[in-house]
Amino acid sequence: MLLNDSIKLAIGSLSSRRMRSFLTALGIAVGIASVVLLTSIGEGVHKFVLSEFTQFGTNLIAVTPGRATTTGISGAIISNVRPLSMDDALALERIPRVVAVAPFVQGNAPVEFGKHSRRSYIFGVGPEVPTVWRIKVAMGRFLPYDDPRAARAFAVLGSKLRDELFGSENPLDRRIRIGGERYRVIGVMESKGQMLGFDLDDAVYIPAARALAMFDRESLMEIDLLYAAGSTADEIAKKIKGLLIARHGAEDFTITTQEQMLDVLGSVLNILTLAVGALGGISLLVGSVGILTIMTIAVNERTAEIGLLRAIGARRRQILVLFLGEAVVLASIGGLAGLVIGAGGAWLLGAMVPALPTHTPWSYVVLAEILAGFIGLLAGVLPARHAANLDPIEALRAE
């Protein structure tokens, strides 16, 4: 029997019972549509979150004080964690292939201008931050390359803070008070928007050493390093580790490369996508039970036909193929419709609710269609086997 003929026969018998075939295919269509739609949303969120994190660049390495992996030593022992100092930051700058280093300390303090006052994030940073974090200066300039240990009292405003304090006035060269200290505004940053609910525009950037003093801290919270493209994160991380161990005497810091972070984040988000996809899979399961039911009914109804086919020389295998073919064609048509509905729904959702990012990866689409066909095969196996194993004489007698 030719493949073409098997498919034609399957489509012929399905289209002779249009309503029933339509409803059964609809069950699969709904299942595939929900899988596609939900994974599209999952993938969209995945991409969205990753882009939030990579907006600072991907060649980043962060050094934070303290060991992240505990070794089980009780907290009662005096901590011998040494602070990450400005000197550490300066030393790291000298590592070859490190392009820029940004010390970072963050706090919260009132920012005052005239009668206006607002509590904002205070970012104590170095002059390299625009390069490392990929933020642009909208107006004026960023913090200058002063002696890091005795930096002048300059401040650069986030765009939102500038709006709040100055409105339409020109803020450049104006004096503001931050945590009671006087600063001169030398620049305004471009709006960077929110990152996971953390408003980067409602902030003021001041030299790190001044921020340390303001918050009475010894240690930087983080040192971010940008390395040249072409080097691997691991080899740079190894050099940082060597340098800091030499300076601190022990490994009392943690190095997190952007790659590692994205890996961890990516795997978490993959599980999220998988989980919502599995939810859609439940409706797919229901759809496949529909196929099983309809094929069982079809085999019972067409017992006489099966008997006839056996009498005119059909092998058991051919009967099996015919009924399996019907189940697979049914599921594939349903799957195709589901793909259109699911991908269309995802697109529509993305167009109507721009805040909800959706993304339909083509590999998922192909996978979903293969899955639909496979489900048809699986759901068709039992009824088709039953049909193939019918006794031809008994089958012919049924009418």
Partner 1 sequence: MIYLAGIERIFQVGDEAVHALSNVNLTLNAGEYIAIMGPSGSGKSTLLNIIGLLDRPDRGVYRLEDVDTTDLTDDQQASVRRHKIGFVFQFFHLVPRLTAAENVELPLILAGVAPAERQPRVQAALSALGLSGRAKHRPDQLSGGQRQRVAIARATIMQPNVILADEPTGNLDRNSGKDVIQSLEDLNKKGMTLILVTHDPDLGSRALRKIQMVDGKILENTRAS
Which sign, positive or negative, has the C-alpha torsion 6, 11, 17, 21? Answer: positive
Q: Which residue is associated with the tokens 């509905």?
A: 341
Contact between 69 and partner 1 by CB under 8 A: the answer reads: no
Q: C-beta of 314: minimal distance to partner 1 in Å?
A: 5
Contact between 315 and partner 1 by CB under 8 A: the answer reads: yes
Q: Out of 90, 340, 378, 396, name the contact with partner 1 by CB under 8 A.
A: 396
For partner 1, give the closer residue by CB, 6 or 231.
Answer: 6
For partner 1, give the closer residue by CB, 180 or 313.
Answer: 313
Contact between 7 and partner 1 by CB under 8 A: the answer reads: no
Answer whether 181's CB lies under 8 Å from 216's CB. no
Q: Out of 108, 317, 347, 356, name the contact with partner 1 by CB under 8 A.
A: 317
Contact between 12 and partner 1 by CB under 8 A: the answer reads: yes
Site map (CB under 8 A) of partner 1, residues 295-314, x = contact? ---------xx-xxxxxxxx
For partner 1, give the closer residue by CB, 147 or 399.
Answer: 399
User: Which residues from 333-392 bind partner 1, rule CB under 8 A?
Assistant: 392
For partner 1, give the closer residue by CB, 2 or 355.
Answer: 2
Contact between 125 and partner 1 by CB under 8 A: the answer reads: no
What is the rounded CA–CA span in Å between residue 352 and residue 358? 11
For partner 1, give the closer residue by CB, 20 or 134.
Answer: 20
Give the count of residues interacting with partner 1 (CB under 8 A): 26
Q: Out of 316, 340, 344, 361, name the contact with partner 1 by CB under 8 A.
A: 316
Q: C-beta of 311: minimal distance to partner 1 in Å?
A: 5
Q: C-beta of 16: minimal distance to partner 1 in Å?
A: 4
Contact between 97 and partner 1 by CB under 8 A: the answer reads: no
| Of 187, 209, 189, the residue nearest 200 (C-alpha) | 189
For partner 1, give the closer residue by CB, 11 or 91.
Answer: 11
For partner 1, give the closer residue by CB, 111 or 321.
Answer: 321
For partner 1, give the closer residue by CB, 268 or 311.
Answer: 311
What does the binding site for partner 1 look like in residue numbers (CB under 8 A)? 1-2, 4-5, 9, 12-13, 16, 304-305, 307-318, 392-393, 396, 399
